[in-house]
């Protein structure tokens, strides 16, 4: 095991592509299957893989599907060199996969707890993996909530899947958007605590953090998983803190530029911590300590 060459990816075929959102920063979900069945990997929700587009390079992506669903999926936003090329691939094309890397979410420790999944934009990708895992093991966990925000309603990914979960009653879902649209209840970003919160409403205009405040998420026997852009993570944590949440109850994922994925290339470190092997999942208590060392 230890002498294995970690830099050589296994070739995998794209077996399905879902167009989640469109536009300049479109999101697509790729389902892949290894050409060589023996290369198949076991992974935990929250872990990541290096995905290669040969000739363009490789990038680290969170696995966006739960291991309980039997497929390996990545949800990728089109932002740069590798992702642009990924988006041009079709079913049947080949990519390279190596991994899984990182620690993943400590789902075993979470048993019996109420969980708030809080996601913004493409941050929904890792959240989807862990949320589906928890839903599939629903009996082990308490109440489940999802607060999912994006810029506009068109930028919300995994629509059908989340709708189905919601209708099945598996999870309480609140969607938020930044730009006002008809039919979406307006929240006051400036005074989130004063916003009138209608529990029957599922769609809000307002920041994710605002929604968290307005919903008054309870910290009792609960934990929160926050993924999204840095500013959204920061404000959401602020909202939770005001509601009496402790740093240890809040989990988040970090990202940094990575090249090797195995803690050698020296660029994803925050202080002495390598995000690729020690992360990407950290509690806010850990992050707080690390951010001092940025």
* Shortest Cβ 66–another protein spacing (Å): 24
Q: Scanning residues 194 to 253, which ones bind another protein (CB under 8 A)? A: 230
Residues comprising the chain, all counted: 294
Given 138, 246, 264, 288, the residue binding another protein (CB under 8 A): 264
Given 137, 218, 256, 283, the residue binding another protein (CB under 8 A): 256
For another protein, the closer of residues 165 and 233 by Cβ is 233
Task: Give burial (CB, 10 Å; 0-12/13-18/19+) of 250.
Answer: buried
Which residues make beta-bridge pairs with 154? none
- Considering the rule CB under 8 A, would residue 153 count as an interface residue with another protein? no
- Considering the rule CB under 8 A, would residue 5 count as an interface residue with another protein? yes
For another protein, the closer of residues 142 and 229 by Cβ is 229
Task: Give burial (CB, 10 Å; 0-12/13-18/19+) of 200.
Answer: exposed
Distance between alpha carbon 53 and the CA centroid of its chain, in Å? Answer: 22
- Residue that is written with structure tokens 């913004």 in the block: 120
* Shortest Cβ 73–another protein spacing (Å): 20
- Considering the rule CB under 8 A, would residue 269 count as an interface residue with another protein? yes
CA 258/CA 267 separation, integer angstroms: 6
Strands of 114-120's sheet in order across: 185-186, 203-205, 172-177, 144-150, 114-120, 222-227, 250-253, 281-283
For another protein, the closer of residues 18 and 265 by Cβ is 265
Given 7, 138, 179, 181, the residue binding another protein (CB under 8 A): 7
Contact between 52 and 9 under an 8 Å Cβ cutoff? The reply is yes
* Shortest Cβ 57–another protein spacing (Å): 5
- Considering the rule CB under 8 A, would residue 183 count as an interface residue with another protein? no
CA 39/CA 47 separation, integer angstroms: 17
- Considering the rule CB under 8 A, would residue 41 count as an interface residue with another protein? no
Binding interface with another protein (CB under 8 A): 2-9, 11, 24-25, 52, 54-59, 78-81, 83-85, 94, 96, 230, 255-257, 259-260, 262-272, 277, 292-294
């Amino acid at each position: 095991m230890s002498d294995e060459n970690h830099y050589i990816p296994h070739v995998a075929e794209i077996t399905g592509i879902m167009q989640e959102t469109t536009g300049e920063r479109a999101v697509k979900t790729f389902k892949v299957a290894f050409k060589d069945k023996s290369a198949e990997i076991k992974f935990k929700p929250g872990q990541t893989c290096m995905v290669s587009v040969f000739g363009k390079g490789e990038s680290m992506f969170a696995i966006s599907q739960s291991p309980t669903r039997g497929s390996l999926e990545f949800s990728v936003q089109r932002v740069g060199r590798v992702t642009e090329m990924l988006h041009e691939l079709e079913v049947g094309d080949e990519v390279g996969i190596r991994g899984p890397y990182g620690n993943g979410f400590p789902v075993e420790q979470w048993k019996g707890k109420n969980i708030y999944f809080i996601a913004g934009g493409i941050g929904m990708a890792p959240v989807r993996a862990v949320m589906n895992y928890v839903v599939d093991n629903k009996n082990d966990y308490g109440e489940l909530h999802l607060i999912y925000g994006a810029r506009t309603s068109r930028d919300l990914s995994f629509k059908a899947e989340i709708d189905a979960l919601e209708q099945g009653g598996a999870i309480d879902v609140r969607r938020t958007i930044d730009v006002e649209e008809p039919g979406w209840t307006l929240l006051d970003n400036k005074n989130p605590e004063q916003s009138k919160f209608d529990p029957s409403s599922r769609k809000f205009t307002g920041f994710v953090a605002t929604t968290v405040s307005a919903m008054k998420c309870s910290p009792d026997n609960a934990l929160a998983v926050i993924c999204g852009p840095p500013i959204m993570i920061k404000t959401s944590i602020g909202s939770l803190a005001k509601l009496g949440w402790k740093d240890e109850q809040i989990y988040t994922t970090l990202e940094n530029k990575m090249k090797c994925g195995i803690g050698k290339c020296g660029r994803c470190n925050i202080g002495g911590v390598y995000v690729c092997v020690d992360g990407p999942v950290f509690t806010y208590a850990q992050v707080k300590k690390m951010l001092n060392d940025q």
